[in-house]
A and B are shown apart, each in its own frame.
Chain A
Amino acid sequence: MSRTFVGMPPFPTAAAHALRDTQLRRNLAHATGTIRDKRAGVVAEVDDWEQLRVDGAAIKDHVLSRLDHYLVELEESLTRAGATVHWARDAAEANAIVATIAHAHDADEVVKVKSMATQEIGLNEALAEEGIAAWETDLAELIVQLGDDLPSHILVPAIHRNRAEIREIFAARMGDSGRAAPPDLSDAPADLAAAARLHLREKFLRAKVAVSGANFAVADSGTLVVVESEGNGRMCLTLPEVLISVVGIEKIVPTYDDLQVFLQLLPRSSTGERMNPYTSMWTGVTPGDGPQEVHVVLLDNGRSRALADEVGRQALRCIRCSACLNVCPVYERTGGHAYGSVYPGPIGAILNPLLKGTGVDAQTDSLPYASTLCGACFEACPVRIDIPEVLVHLRSKVVDGHRGDRRPKAEALAMKAASWTLSDSRRLDRALRTSGVARAALGRSRDRVSQTVPLPGAAAWTRARDLPLPAREPFRSWWRKQSGSES
C-alpha cells in the first residue's frame, strides 16, 4: 500500500533533498517542458481564451458566494435521481462512510477512478485498515501505488518516473496484486500500457464496488462529471454494482450549460489537449444500466475554512488542471514530494494552508514561502486564481501568528529594524554611512565579496553566489554633493 505524506519536513529541507536527485530533475524538466509547450499551442488556438477564463472564474465565484443554496439544491437533485447523499466534515468521517458502504456489500476490494479528494483524505490507507484493498486504475496512479511511492503531480502523479523505472516497478510488483507483468516486458510505452491493461482488466471485471471523485457536480440536475484520458474511469463508473463518489463541496456548477466553459478550459490547461478523450456524466441510478446503488459523499475537510478567508477563497475555484505546476520554476526543480501533500506546486502552496489553517505546523507554514512570486502560475491559471496575491496574504498570516512569540525570530527582528530604518530617510542616511564603514572593513579594493559577511541570511547567499559590497558612495550622498541639495 502506498505511503503517506505524514511527517514530511518543511519545504526548504525537502527541496534540498530533491535538488540533489539529478535524474529526478531531468525527468521533471523534460516532462513539464513537453506539457508546457503542448498547452501553449492549444491555448493559442482559442480566440476567446481570456474571456473563457473570466467566465470560469465568475461561475465559480458565484457558486462560492451562494454555496449553502447550491449544496441544498445538489442534495435534492441527487436524491431525486436515486442517489444517496452523505455529508462529511473531515477525512475521518468521509473514510468511515466509504468503509461502511463497502462492508455492507461484503466487499474486500474496490476499484478507483483517479481522484484528488480521496487522496486528500487518505482513503486507500483508511480502507486498508478496514481490510479493504483499494486498487488505483489510472495508469500513473497504478505506477505510484505499485511502486509504494507518493504522487508528485496532480495530473501526472508519476511524472518523476521515467519509463525504465516504470518497467522495473511493473516487472517486480504487478504479480503481488493480480496478473503479473509478462516476463519479457520492455520499456516501450506500448508494451507498458498493454501490461497495465491486462492487469487492470481482471480488477475491473471482478470488483463489486467502485470509488470515484468528480470534476464537476451540476446542482440543478444532480449530474456528476468525470473527465479522463484512458477509459479506466468509465470502466469503474459503469461495471460495478455500487458506486461511491467523494466530492469536494466546491465542485458545484449551477447548470449543465455552465459545463461548456470548463470543458474547454480544463483539457487544454491540463494535458494540452483540445478535448479530453473520455467525458463521463451520470445522474443517480438508471435501472438496468450501470451501478444500481450510487452514493455521493459531500466533503468539507477544510473547505469552509478556506471559504471564510476573503483573499484565499479564490483558491476554491481550482479545477485541479495542474497548469500552475507545469509552469512553476520552483516545482520544476524540486518536484512534488517537497510540498509534503497530494496538492503540490503553486496551488498546493496556497491550498494546504487554506484547508488546514496556518500556525498548525512548520511544514504547512513553509509552503507560502515556496515561491518566488514570479507570477507564471497566475498567468496560466484557467480560472484566474491570483496565486501570488494569496501567497503574500498567507505569508502575512504566518507572520501574524508569531507576533505574540516571547522570543521573536531573527527574521522578525530584522524586518522590524528595516521598517524603522526605511520609514525615515535620515535613519537610512545613517545606516548607509555605517555600511560604508563596513565596506572599508570588508576589503575596499574589490567590488564583490564571497567570504562570509556579518549580515542576516548572508551565509545562505554567499554559499554559491558572490555578494556585492556596499557602494563606496551611496547615491544619495553623491546626489547631495552634486546638486548642493539638502532637501
Chain B
Amino acid sequence: MNVALQVTCLNDSLFPDTARATLTLLRRLGVNVEVPLGQTCCAQPMINTGYLDEAVPVVRNFVDVFEGYDAVVTPSGSCTGCARHQHAIVARRSGDAALVAAVSSTAPTVYELSEFLVDVLGVTDVGAYFPHRVTYHPTCHSLRMVGVGDRPSRLLEAVRGIDLVELPQATECCGFGGTFAVKNSDTSVAMGSDKARHVRDTDAEVLVAGDSSCLMHIGGLLSRQQAGVRTMHLAEVLASTQVGS
C-alpha cells in the first residue's frame, strides 16, 4: 500500500515531535510511509476564516502532492475534515474542473490517524507502553466532522501501564476554533478555561488529543496557570514503548 504522511503545517513548524511520533508508530506497524516534501497545509486557516480565493492555490498544492496515494494519513481530525468536506467547496468556487476532479479523488483517501490504525490496519493494540495518568479530549472535528467515534479511546485503552481517566464534559469544544481564538479571544479563553478546569479535576498528568491546534490552546492555558499538566498528541502516546521510554 502506497501511504503518505500529511505532517500538517502546525506540526511541521511548532510540534515536529508529533509528526516524528506518527512516523515512528506507522513504521513500527510495518507501514512504509512516504513524506512528500512538496506538502504545505490543508488550507483550513483560510477556508474557515472565509478567504476561499486564497485557499485555492493551497488546495491545489495539496492535491498535486497527495493525489495517487492509496492513503494519506494525518495526525489531525481537523485537517482530515477539511480535506474531506471543504476542499470540494474551494474547488467548485475556482471553476477549475481538473481541480474539482482531483479533489474528489483525493478526499476519500485522507485518514485521521486513529481511523487508519483501526479501520485500515485493523489494530487497536499498537504495542505502546505509557505508565501515566491520562485523560483524553475528543476534538470537535475528529468527533463530529470526521466521526472517529471511540477509536482513539480503544487505542488508548490498549496501551500498557496507562491509567486512563474520563474527562468531564469531554465532548464540549475547547474554544480554539482557528482564528476564533484571536477574533473572539475573550470567549475562546472562557471556554478554554472551563476545559482546563475539567482537565485539572481529573488529576491527570497528561492531557491527550488528536489535534495539535486544540492542544496548543488548552496547553497554553494550562501552562500559563502553571497547572502541572502536560499536553501530548495521541500519536506520541501510541509511539511510546517500554524500550524507547
Contact = CB atoms under 8 A, between A and B. Distances in A.
Of the four ranges (under 10, 10 to 19, 20 to 34, 35 or more), the interface on chain B belongs to 35 or more
B162 interface: no
Interface string A1-30: 000000000011001100100000100000
Given A375-B144, A378-B144, A476-B7, A425 B37 contact: yes
A131 interface: no
Interface in B54-69: 54-55, 57-58, 60-61
A4 B192 CA distance: 32
A60 B77 CA distance: 32
Nearest to A435: B13
Given A369-B180, A419-B46, A423-B60, A471 B186 contact: no
A243 B40 CA distance: 63
A48 interface: no
B40 A372 contact: no
Nearest to A419: B54
B209 to A, nearest CB: 14
Interface in A448-487: 448, 450, 457, 460-461, 463-471, 473-476, 478-480, 483, 485-487
Nearest to B193: A464
B191 A368 contact: no
Interface stretch (B114-122, B169-177, B197-205): B169-177
A479 B193 CA distance: 36
Interface residues of A, number: 69
B16 A478 contact: yes
Nearest to B57: A423
- Mostly, the A contact residues are helix
Contacts, number: 200
A339 B38 CA distance: 43
A37 B119 CA distance: 32
Contacts of A457: 179, 182
Q: Which 4 A-B pairs have the closest CB atoms?
A: A372-B177, A395-B50, A465-B220, A423-B57
Interface of A: 11-12, 15-16, 19, 25, 329-330, 333-334, 368-376, 378-379, 388, 392, 394-400, 411-412, 415-416, 418-419, 421-425, 428, 432, 435, 448, 450, 457, 460-461, 463-471, 473-476, 478-480, 483, 485-487
Interface of B: 7, 9, 11-16, 19-20, 35-41, 43, 45-52, 54-55, 57-58, 60-61, 86, 89, 140-141, 143-145, 171-173, 175-194, 216-217, 219-221, 223-224
